[in-house]
Structure formats: C-alpha cells, structure tokens
C-alpha cells in the first residue's frame, strides 16, 4: 500500500513539536523529530511570544523531518488560539505577538460590552466570555502606533504558514476563537465587527481545514534541505480542533477532555447551542473539522500543576513531576478543593501560595505539603471535569457513555483515574499526540491517502494508537465533594 509522510507542526504553550506521521490507508504511525521550548518573554511590561524563536525551532524541525522521512508529502500547522501578529503593508511583523496571559485586556471586556452587550456577543458568536479573546485584544491594541501601521492581523498558525509559504489566509477553526465569527454561517459576524469598528478584512481570507495553503518557499526549502514542491495544507489550525479530530471515538456518545496546559472539556455537536443556559454555563461553540462544533468549556488545566512545579524548582527544590504525582497519590483524597476555573489562577507566578490563599479564603483546609497541594489540584480538576461534562450534556440535551482524554494529560494516570471516579464514567485515555494526529489525518485526506468522514479517520486511530481504559470506582465521595465545591464557588461557607 501507498505510504506517505506528513509533517505536523504543533505549537503548545510551553513547547513546540515537529512530528512526522506515516499514513497508509490502514493507519498512522508517529515519530517526534524535534521538540523545542516555547518561552514567553516579558519585556517592557508586556508578556510576548518569541515568534522568531518559534520559527527557528520550526525550521530545525522541518530539517529533522526531511532527514527522518526523505520527502514530505505535505505540512500542516496548529497552535493555541486567540493570539495574533500584526503585519504591515510590506508583510513585515510589527513587534512580537502579545501573550494571551498578558494584562492588556484588563477592563476591556466592560468597554466591549458597553457597545455590544455580552448576551448579543454570545448570540452572534457562540463564544464563551474570556478576557483574552481576540476581540478584546484587538480593542486593547487599536490605539497603539503599531496598530496604525498594521494592514493585517494573522493568527499564530496563519502567521507561521505565511512565513513558510508567502500565502496569507485565516483558517476557520482558529478564527472562531476570535469571538468575531458566526459559527453557523462560518463567516465573520458582521453585526459585531461593524458595531465595534473592527474591519474583518484585517484578517486574510478565510479558509477551512483541508484547503490548500500554498507551498514551502524556495528559501524554506534551502534552509531545511527539503526537496520541493512541498504543499502546506490548512488543518484544524486551532490545536484543540486538531486534538478533537484526533479523539479515537467510536460513535457519537462521548465527551472529550483535551488535556494540556488547558483542559478543554465538552462535546462534538452538529450545530451551535447559543441558549441563555449555554451562555450562563460559559460554554463556547468553536468550529471543528468538517463543519462540527466544539461545544466546550475552558478549564485552567495542568497549568496549575506546571506552575507549582516551576515555583518549587525556582525555589531550589530538586523535584520532578513524577515525584509530586507519587506524593499526591499518597495524600488524603478530597481534603482541600479549589475552583480550578477561577481567573485568580490565570497569571503566572507564585502558584502554591495562590492555591493556599484560595483555600484560606473559602475555609478549606490549607494544604501544607507538596503532595497535599498537588492532590488538591488534581481532585479539583477532576471535579471541574465532572461539572463540565454534566453541564455540557444538560445544556446541549445529550447523554454520553464515555469520556475520552487526549493530550499530554493522558500521561497523568492519577488524574485519569480521578476523572473516571468523579464523572462516574469510563475514561479512555490516549492518544497523547491527538493534536498532531488530527493535523496529519486532515492532511492525508486532503492529499487523497485516506478517505471518508471524521468517523472514518478516527477509526484509523483506534487500531494503531495506545489507549488505556479506566473504569469508575465509588462515586459517593465525589458526589459529596461536588456539593462542597459548588457551595464554596457560590461563596457559601463550608458547614
């Protein structure tokens, strides 16, 4: 059978990867050929992404991909959502893209809502309220000299694609995270852009997963040693869209957790749900591959754990992730709970102290040891997942029989087990590299190596990827804990 090698560029909040996927009509095998750190840089008071550093890592990765695979059939790019670079009339990047964790959007949502009330914004876009949404970042940026010089705004994967090919476009799954797109028409929400005075033509023309996105430029081929022509394919360029495409589900009754720095928890739907109940529950309707809707809630995911680890290491403790997970496994279950979705945990720095502060504020026992802190994080995350799955099912009028966990969090066995217990549902964990797999399968279909629906693509994953199943245990302690968490979120002191 025909084998083809596809390059997936997958940029995450803490690292970037270039992965080669070998695809046959029967399945897909992956090899990570290069991984590089993604280190946000604070300069002159603003937190930035190091766009050129990332691009250099991508070129190194493409070179390694060529060495590993000989030829690449095509390349696809996905990354986190919402952020963008401003580009001038000559195509030059104006400054480094600002990180969504930067404080520039503070107070901006109120200004936006004064023009377009939050309920109208939701009705038009279906996107959950978050200060970091592109709409708020654009309003925060638009009085700057940089913005005055800008002709285009390119979302991160589109910017990388532009640098690799010279062709500008805006891929729809990621465009949906701007909170400026209508998920039903899949075009810009003109009532919103008009009201806010944002010209949608600032974004290059829309394109969908599977659409051609140009060819690697001669200078890129020369830098990487790849032999051309190498087409670039628009994939689900929002990493979560590619990750959901990479969920190895069999049938439709599943919830998913895309578990990385963030946890994105929800359902795949055919049509957006923009009811008042959905808005109150802060569910988003992002676009997925093949016209699907990713109906999900953002939960501050392993960020809490990553930041604690970073703090302990900065404090000089010689400690690794596996150590703190073992300590957490031995710690008392469900002793201290926090609201893992609290905005108080969004910014970097001092995370162990902020978790202790949150417990103190709500009258929860203050966790004193590393094990207790990490247990608090994992128990709280599992409860947040349970609530998100339940709220998604309630507001979308659906039932599920399985929870799929994909992404780096799959490697956290304790969290997978706690999630099964908390949800009272079997968890299927894997694959770790769902985003790269979703990216690669969409390319492979565009190039005619595999065929069919999203369901057909997913069936290729079930045979070839390592999956682990966790059966739920006793649900009663979790029912009680969920009530306790709901009370502390509502500000009712613990009994």
Give, in order, the Cα–Cα distances in Å from 115 to each of 119, 127, 134, 189, 278. 12, 17, 16, 15, 22
Chain centroid, CA 315 distance in Å = 29
The residue (of 66 and 81) whose beta carbon lies closer to ligand LFR is 81
Q: Which of 264, 260, 225 is nearest to 244 (CA)?
A: 264
CB 416, CB 263: distance < 8 Å: no
CB 296, CB 267: distance < 8 Å: yes
What minimum distance in Å lies between the beta carbon of 287 and ligand LFR? 12
Distance CA(478)–CA(277), nearest Å, equals 24
182 is catalytic: no
The residue (of 214 and 407) whose beta carbon lies closer to ligand LFR is 407
What minimum distance in Å lies between the beta carbon of 127 and ligand LFR? 10
What minimum distance in Å lies between the beta carbon of 383 and ligand LFR? 20
DSSP for 287-337?
Answer: E-GGG-EEEEEEE--THHHHHHHHHHHHTT----HHHHHHHHHHSPTTSS-
Q: How many other β-carbons are positioned within 10 Å of the β-carbon of residue 357?
A: 14
The residue (of 133 and 224) whose beta carbon lies closer to ligand LFR is 133
Chain centroid, CA 290 distance in Å = 18
Structure-token pair, residue 488: 């502390």
First-to-final CA distance of the chain: 65
Distance CA(172)–CA(188), nearest Å, equals 10
The residue (of 287 and 449) whose beta carbon lies closer to ligand LFR is 287
Distance CA(402)–CA(426), nearest Å, equals 5
Catalytic-labelled residue, pool 239, 339, 379, 391: 239
Q: Which of 299, 304, 208 is nearest to 258 (CA)?
A: 299
The residue (of 97 and 260) whose beta carbon lies closer to ligand LFR is 260
| Strand 152-155 with 84-87, pairing | antiparallel
What minimum distance in Å lies between the beta carbon of 86 and ligand LFR? 17
Residues binding ligand LFR (CB under 6 A): 13, 80-82, 100, 238-240, 260, 262, 264, 298
The residue (of 13 and 304) whose beta carbon lies closer to ligand LFR is 13
The residue (of 74 and 240) whose beta carbon lies closer to ligand LFR is 240
The residue (of 298 and 362) whose beta carbon lies closer to ligand LFR is 298
What minimum distance in Å lies between the beta carbon of 177 and ligand LFR? 6
* Letter string b/e over residues 224-243, b meaning 16 or more CB atoms within 10 A of that residue's CB: bebeeebbbbbbbbbbbbbb
H helices then E strands: how many in the chain? 19, 21
Give, in order, the Cα–Cα distances in Å from 228 to each of 11, 72, 215, 232. 24, 9, 8, 11
What minimum distance in Å lies between the beta carbon of 155 and ligand LFR? 10
**φ, ψ at 459 (rounded to 5°):** -65, -25
What minimum distance in Å lies between the beta carbon of 15 and ligand LFR? 12
The residue (of 172 and 238) whose beta carbon lies closer to ligand LFR is 238
Distance CA(329)–CA(200), nearest Å, equals 50
Burial of 37 (0-12, 13-18, 19+ CB in 10 A): exposed
What minimum distance in Å lies between the beta carbon of 286 and ligand LFR? 7
What minimum distance in Å lies between the beta carbon of 243 and ligand LFR? 8
Paired with 47 in beta bridges are 42
Active site (catalytic) residues = 239
């Amino acid at each position: 059978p025909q084998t083809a090698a596809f390059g997936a560029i997958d940029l995450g909040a803490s690292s970037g990867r270039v992965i080669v996927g070998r695809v046959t009509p029967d399945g897909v095998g992956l090899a990570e050929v290069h991984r590089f750190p993604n280190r946000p840089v604070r300069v002159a008071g603003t937190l930035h992404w190091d766009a050129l550093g990332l691009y250099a890592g991508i070129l190194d990765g493409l070179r390694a991909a060529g060495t590993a695979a000989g030829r690449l059939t095509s390349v696809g790019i996905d990354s986190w959502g919402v952020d963008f670079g401003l580009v001038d009339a000559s195509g030059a990047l104006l400054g480094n893209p600002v990180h969504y964790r930067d404080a520039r959007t503070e107070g901006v949502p109120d200004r936006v809502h004064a023009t377009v009330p939050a309920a109208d914004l939701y009705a038009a876009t279906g996107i959950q309220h978050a200060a970091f949404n592109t709409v708020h970042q654009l309003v925060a940026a638009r009085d700057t000299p940089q913005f005055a010089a800008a002709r285009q705004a390119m979302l991160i994967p589109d910017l990388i694609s532009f640098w690799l090919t010279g062709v500008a476009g805006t891929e729809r799954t990621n465009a949906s995270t701007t909170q400026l797109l209508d998920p039903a028409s899949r075009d810009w929400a003109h009532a919103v852009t008009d009201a806010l005075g944002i010209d949608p033509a600032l974004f290059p023309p829309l394109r969908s997963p599977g659409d051609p996105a140009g060819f690697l430029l001669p200078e890129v081929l020369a830098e990487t040693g790849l032999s051309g022509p190498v087409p670039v394919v628009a994939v689900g360029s929002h990493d979560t869209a590619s990750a959901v495409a990479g969920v190895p589900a069999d049938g439709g009754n599943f919830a998913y957790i895309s578990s990385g720095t963030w946890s994105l928890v929800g359902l795949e739907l055919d049509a957006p749900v923009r009811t008042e109940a959905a808005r109150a529950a802060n569910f988003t309707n992002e676009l997925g591959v093949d016209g699907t809707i990713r109906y999900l809630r953002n939960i501050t995911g392993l960020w809490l754990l990553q930041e604690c680890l970073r703090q302990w290491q900065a404090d000089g403790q010689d400690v690794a992730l596996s150590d703190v997970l073992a300590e957490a496994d031995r710690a008392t279950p469900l002793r201290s709970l926090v609201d893992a979705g609290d905005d108080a945990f969004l910014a970097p720095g001092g995370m162990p102290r902020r978790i202790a502060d949150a417990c103190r504020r709500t009258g929860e026992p203050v966790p004193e040891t590393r094990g207790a802190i990490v247990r608090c994080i994992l128990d709280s995350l599992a409860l947040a997942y349970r609530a998100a799955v339940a709220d998604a099912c309630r507001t979308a009028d659906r039932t599920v029989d399985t929870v799929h966990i994909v992404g780096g969090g799959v490697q956290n066995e304790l969290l997978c087990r706690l999630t099964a217990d908390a949800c009272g549902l079997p968890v299927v964990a894997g694959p770790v590299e769902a985003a790269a797999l979703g990216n690669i399968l969409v390319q492979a279909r565009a190039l005619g190596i595999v065929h069919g629906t999203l369901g057909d693509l997913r069936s290729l994953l079930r045979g070839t990827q390592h999956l682990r199943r966790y059966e739920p245990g006793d649900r009663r302690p979790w029912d009680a804990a969920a009530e306790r968490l709901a009370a502390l979120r509502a500000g009712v002191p613990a009994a």
